[in-house]
Structure 1
């Protein structure tokens, strides 16, 4: 079974599209009037970006504590490359620079109130 997509809710769809296409390697499939967009990465994983206004609410959506989405990278160099792309973005907040976290290497950042993790796949050398 493969994961088809994840739907995230954001206040600003265009800023989310910019983040995911320019820094995280996604391609835009469709942008529906800046209210909803569908993006895809090289692994056939789709990300649906749903604008908060479609929920008929004005506030930035709240996610449960510790909820986050994570993206594995092949090595520490790739993690640093993404960090360098992201660190100048005005709308992002970082917990720290990339560092050892649990049994891997990476960093967390927030887009609006959504936490994201960029890290090296800690299972890449194990048989699954």
Structure 2
């Protein structure tokens, strides 16, 4: 079985789209607007981003991007810091080398190996 698509409600569609494209190589699909945007990954999974004022996610909700190496996790973290983002340092957690960051869409993103 393969995950086909996921829709997330976000306050900042453009900021979320740009974040996911810049740090996780997601590719845009179609013509984005400030109200909706579609992205795809290298496995063909589609992520829809829809504008929703006041969107809130439950405690612990997050999406994860598995990296091939701990070094790649560190590289993404360093790129975020260089861009002025405040992300906690990667650490060993639940058997993974990982860090979390609350993206412009308001949900947590986990970067892990």
Pairwise same-fold verdict (TM > 0.5): yes
Q: Which residue of 2 aligns with 1:14?
A: 14
Distance 2:8 2:73 in 1: 22
Which one scores higher on RCO, CA 8 angstroms, separation ≥ 6? Answer: 2
| Structure having the higher Rg | 1
What value does the CA root-mean-square deviation take over the aligned residues?
1.6
Unaligned runs of 5+ in 1: 53-57, 121-128
Partner of 1:75: 69
TM-score under structure 1 length normalisation: 0.79
| Conserved 8 A contact 2:101-2:110 | yes
Q: Distance in 2 between matches of 1:98 and 1:50?
A: 30
**4+ long deviations beyond 2 Å:** 30-33, 87-90
Q: Equivalent residue for 1:126?
A: none
Gaps of 5+ in 2: none
The size of the alignment, in residue pairs, is: 112
* Alpha-carbon spacing, 1:93–1:114, altered in 2? closer, same or farther (3 Å): farther
Q: Distance in 1 between matches of 2:83 and 2:62?
A: 19
Name the TM-score, length of structure 2 as normaliser: 0.89
Question: 1:119 maps to which residue?
Answer: 112
